Amino acid sequence: MPTPLTRRALALTIASTLVASSLLTTAPSFAQTSSTNTTGWPAKPVRWIVGYPAGGGTDFLARTIAAQVSTQLGQPVVVDNRPGAAAIIGSEITAKAPGDGYTVFTADNGVLVYNPALYKKLPYDPAKDFAMIGLMARAPLMLVAAPSADIKDGKTLLDLLKKNPGKYTYATPGNGSPHHLAMELLKSRAGLFVVHAPYRGAAPALQDVMGGQVPLMMVDTPSGINAVKSGKLVPLIMLSDKRIPQLPDVPTATELGLNGLEAYAWQGMVVPVSTPKDLQTRLTKELQTALSDPAVRKKLSDAAWEPIPSDAAAMSAYTASETKIWHALIKDRGITLE
């Protein structure tokens, strides 16, 4: 969840999907199911597994898109929340589900990129157990402050952190989260020492920061934007390739001298790898159609999500690029969840 791809680089990746399509044919079982007869699909509701609690940003994204896909398919697409263990529970359920086109899963950068580097052993293998359908949306991380901290802008914050190593604490939704790793990247690039206060989820972390118990927080924009707009949080640094329209006055890290420092929470759709290839192609088409719907795009944009529809090959290439960046950081910083 940067120096990941900039918007331009992401667009180039998506444009090169035909070249990258061979990345998705590595699993032996993939070819064995590609000729399965799928006439009549869908004949029953489709289950969309989400590895996080209802009411959060991931759940909102899935439900928004699922409602549109349901309309397109003429069958219900039912969101099934299976939270816990950094989405490992939902990942394992998906990996073991029948490959019949009736199970899809929200796979974020935690599931596909971070977990394989943070855990020595996982009950799923993203490269072998999942077939990628396409990217859905991303949201930049931002560094915010409690109003009581009396820090008004990002430049002031960076100066304070440099002059006072170890004095300030920042909250995140947990160890190994995109938020934690984004802050580790910022600390590494800027040469900072800031104390990490991991929480069990974004909600309790936000409450403590808004209440002044912790001065700083790395938060994804969908989780923090309402608190920012209501004055309960002070936005300082946006970790995106350019300023976002929802918060146009918040500078990027690059503008503050940290060139190319970007970090996003991003989401894609995957299915069990045994899912027939023609159903994978159909799901990609339905996902892209849903993300092109003006009402869906507006709803996502209002919640600070940036739609990034793609096909399977582009998602695979993007994941590979992210893996290279974040695995190097995790190894360099010695971060582990074992």
Number of residues that this document lists for the chain: 338
Is the domain of 128 the same as that of 154? no
Residue 162 lies in a domain: yes
Is the domain of 95 the same as that of 146? no
Give the model's pLDDT for residue 161: 96
What pLDDT band is residue 18 in, cutting at 50, 70 and 90? very low
Is the domain of 229 the same as that of 130? no
Is the domain of 286 the same as that of 145? no
74: left (phi over 0), alpha (psi -120 to 50) or beta: left
Is the domain of 250 the same as that of 154? yes
What pLDDT band is residue 6 in, cutting at 50, 70 and 90? very low
Give the model's pLDDT for residue 37: 52
Is the domain of 277 the same as that of 323? yes
Count of structural domains, the chain: 2
Tokens representing residue 246 in the block: 């929802």
Is the domain of 18 the same as that of 121? yes
CATH number, domain containing residue 248: 3.40.190.10
Is the domain of 197 the same as that of 302? no
Q: To the nearest whole number, what is the mean pLDDT of the chain?
A: 89
pLDDT tens for residues 34-48? 344 567 899 999 999
Spatial distance between the Cα atoms of 330 and 109, rounded to a whole number of angstroms: 14
Pairing of strands 46-50, 216-220: unpaired
Residue 1 lies in a domain: no
Residue 114 lies in a domain: yes
Tell me the helix, strand and coil percentages in the chain, rounded to 5: 45, 20, 35
65: left (phi over 0), alpha (psi -120 to 50) or beta: alpha
Per-residue pLDDT, averaged over 136-159, amounts to 96
Domain boundary among 233, 256, 279: 256
Contact 208, 237 (CB under 8 A): no
The interaxial angle of helices 154-163 and 178-190, nearest 10 deg, is 70
Contact 59, 53 (CB under 8 A): yes
**By C-alpha distance, which of 294, 289, 312, 284 is closest to 71?**
289
pLDDT tens for residues 277-299? 999 999 999 999 999 999 999 99
Q: Which residues partner with 252 through β-bridges? A: 238
pLDDT above 60: residue 29: no
Is the domain of 238 the same as that of 289? no
* Helix, strand, or coil (residue 264): strand
Is the domain of 123 the same as that of 145? no
Domain boundary among 206, 221, 256: 256
pLDDT above 50: residue 210: yes
Residue 261 lies in a domain: no
Is the domain of 251 the same as that of 145? yes
Better-predicted residue by pLDDT, 273 or 36: 273
CATH number, domain containing residue 100: 3.40.190.150
Measuring CA to CA, how many Å separate 87 from each of 52, 140, 182, 284, 292? 6, 20, 19, 22, 27
Domain boundary among 234, 256, 278: 256
Q: Which domain holds residue 233?
A: 140-256
Q: Where are the beta strands (DSSP E) in the chain?
A: 46-50, 77-81, 103-108, 130-145, 169-172, 195-198, 216-220, 234-239, 264-272, 306-307
Measuring CA to CA, how many Å separate 110 from each of 64, 204, 265, 294? 21, 20, 9, 28
Spatial distance between the Cα atoms of 112 and 127, rounded to a whole number of angstroms: 8
In one-letter notation, the amino acid at residue 304 is A
Contact 79, 48 (CB under 8 A): yes
**Lookup result for tokens 């009396």:** 150
* Helix, strand, or coil (residue 105): strand
Residue 262 lies in a domain: no
Share of the chain above pLDDT 70, in %: 88
What pLDDT band is residue 85 in, cutting at 50, 70 and 90? confident
Is the domain of 121 the same as that of 15? yes
In one-letter notation, the amino acid at residue 245 is P
Spatial distance between the Cα atoms of 262 and 264, rounded to a whole number of angstroms: 7
